Each structure stands twice: as structure tokens, then as C-alpha cells.
Amino acid sequence: MKTIKISNEYISYRLDKALSLILGDISRNKIQEYLKDGYILVNNKIEKPSYKLEENDELLIKDFPKEESSLLAENIPLDIVYEDDDVIVINKPVGLVVHPGAGNHSHTMANALKFYSDNLSSINGDFRPGIVHRLDKDTAGLIIVAKNNATHEFLSSQLVDHTLGRKYYALVLGSFKENEGKIIAPIGRDDKNRLKMAVDLKDGKEAVTNFKVIKRYNGYTLVECVLETGRTHQIRVHMDYIHHPVIGDPLYGKGNRIIYKDGQLLFAHEISFIHPKTKKKMTFNVNLPSYFTEVLKKL
């Protein structure tokens, strides 16, 4: 059980929307279920998911019921970059879905984690053991896993206050005049295609991406992107928004699948966070994978 006092950034947010940000990678449907059943109270009262948060509101979050697990443990190799009693840092390969969802009930990183360890956080239920944040299926790179609930909550709070750092390399279409820049453009669900996100200047959530040119090629640019926020498909949407779509992206952009068609060339090469026990900053880096470097060699 824990108590959270609502900070100014969540005032006027829908209760379920704010909780999805505060609690990390947990579905809105599950949050609504917990609200209905009284596992989450606002000022010691049950409120509807649509309740608009006010100044000085206080959330009481009780221990969630343990779900009956039907997640299959699968012996899928994990590239573990670092592990201790509290965290695991994994270099996720391209093509691996992080957790089960519609159409993906097995062969996910969650299935691999279930096989690898019995000591993982349970905050997001048995289908998402230890999973604090996500990477898209075709985005490879570093992802952090929590081995206990206290660590999960500590890391989730860093996601909220933007102290959990994530850096990505992206190969994008076109050339930049500038060497670096910042994209500030709110993101929401695309009205025409529910599989996509889009810049929504009216109703979208705050989204900020910093970028820096790493190397210029003929008609292409390798950039490093640093997230200040973590919206779904954020880098992919923002790069398309400024007319530099990520190469290979099947959802966003035009003319960006000529030299590579097997998914977006986007790679999470660095992650940094404050360790829950030592309170020291830890930073991990990995090199670009071979499928990415092979494309660069041909440019």
C-alpha cells in the first residue's frame, strides 16, 4: 500500500490517464478495474476513471490482487548487459515483442523473463513480470527490468520525472541544415488509424524529443534522439512530423522504405537511471547491431 499526493502536472487529468503515467506500463483497462474494485482511492473514496484530478488530491493505492498466471515460461535467450539483486538491463533484439498482447501470446520477452527468473516485480501483473517500460517490436536495444516491487515503483517514478534517461540512434530520410534541435509537439492517437499515433496540437499529451546529427550521408542522416517524455512511437512520430521519417518504418513516412523494409532503423543504445539501493546514477551503452551497420555501410 502506498500514498501519492498529486503533483501540479496532473491537475485536471482524468484519473485513469494520470494513473497510467504514474504506475508505468499498466493497461488503462486494468486501472479502471482496480478503481471500480476499490484498490485505488482518491481522498479515501472510490472515484470514477473519468474523475478530474484537483490540487491536493491524494491517492491511496492498495496492493493489487495477484492474477492467476497463464503466461507460458519459454526458454528464449536473453542478452543480459547487467544484473544485480534489484535490476536487469537487457539488450532486446529486433523482432521481439516485449509482452503479450493482441496476436502475441507467446514468444515475447515476458515469456523469456518468466523462464529466466521467479524473482520479478508483480506490479503490472503476471503477464508483464518486471516490465517497467517498453520498446516497439522492431526497435532493438536497452530495456530495464525490475526484480521487486520497490524497485519497480522507484524506476517508474523516474519515468514520470524524466530522470530515467534513454538515448536512441535513428537513420532518417533527408538531410538536416542544423546540427541539433528540439521537437516539442504533443502526441495522441491517430483518428483515422488506431494503430498509429500522431501529433495532436489540441488534445495530445506533451512530447519532447531532442536530436543531434551524428553523421550525414547522401540523402540520409544518422541522428541521436534523447527522450524527455516517453509517448508511444514518440521518435517515429516526431521524425515523420519534421519530414525526416525513420528508415524502414512501416507506419510512418513516405519514401523511407527503399533501402530497408524490415522495420524502423531505431536503436536504444543508452539507458541511465538512479539505482534504487545505492542511489548512484548508472549508465549502460551498447553498439549498433549488425543489421543496422550493414545498411550504413551501403550509404
Q: Could you report the per-residue pLDDT of 29-83, keeping only the tens digit for each?
A: 789 888 988 999 999 999 999 999 999 999 999 988 766 557 899 999 999 999 9
Instruction: State whether 170 and 227 are in the same domain.
Output: yes
pTM of the model: 0.78
| Helical (H) or strand (E) element with 112 | helix 109-116
Specify if 47 maps to a domain: yes
Give me 229's grid cell: 517524455
Give me 71's grid cell: 503466461
| Helical (H) or strand (E) element with 275 | none
The C-alpha atoms of residue 42 and residue 48 are separated, in whole angstroms, by: 10
Specify if 298 maps to a domain: no
Note whether 89 and 50 are within 8 A (CB). no
Instruction: State whether 156 and 208 are in the same domain.
Output: no
Q: Which pLDDT value is given to residue 263?
A: 96
57 is annotated as an active-site residue: no
Mean pLDDT score across all residues of the chain: 93
Q: For the domain that residue 171 is a member of, what is the CATH number?
A: 3.30.2350.10
Specify if 240 maps to a domain: yes
Specify if 204 maps to a domain: yes
Q: For the domain that residue 37 is a member of, what is the CATH number?
A: 3.10.290.10
Give me 48's grid cell: 470514477
Q: Residue 28: pLDDT band by 50, 70, 90 thresholds?
A: confident
Note whether 274 and 287 are within 8 A (CB). no
Instruction: State whether 136 and 175 are in the same domain.
Output: no
103: pLDDT strictly greater than 80: no
Specify if 198 maps to a domain: yes
Backbone angles phi, psi at 295, to 5 degrees: -70, -45
Instruction: State whether 17 and 92 are in the same domain.
Output: no
How many domains does the chain fold into?
A: 3
Range(s) of the domain holding residue 257:
166-267
Specify if 273 maps to a domain: no
The C-alpha atoms of residue 12 and residue 14 are separated, in whole angstroms, by: 7
Specify if 104 maps to a domain: yes
The C-alpha atoms of residue 235 and residue 247 are separated, in whole angstroms, by: 12
Specify if 278 maps to a domain: no
Residue among 136, 138, 161, 240 flagged as catalytic: 136
Instruction: State whether 192 and 214 are in the same domain.
Output: yes
At which of 161, 194, 225 does a domain end? 161
Buried b (16+ CB within 10 A) or exposed e, 215-229: eeeeebbbbbbbbbb
Q: Which pLDDT value is given to residue 67?
A: 60
* DSSP single-letter state for residue 184: E
Which residue did the predictor score with more confidence, 145 or 26? Answer: 145
Instruction: State whether 170 and 262 are in the same domain.
Output: yes
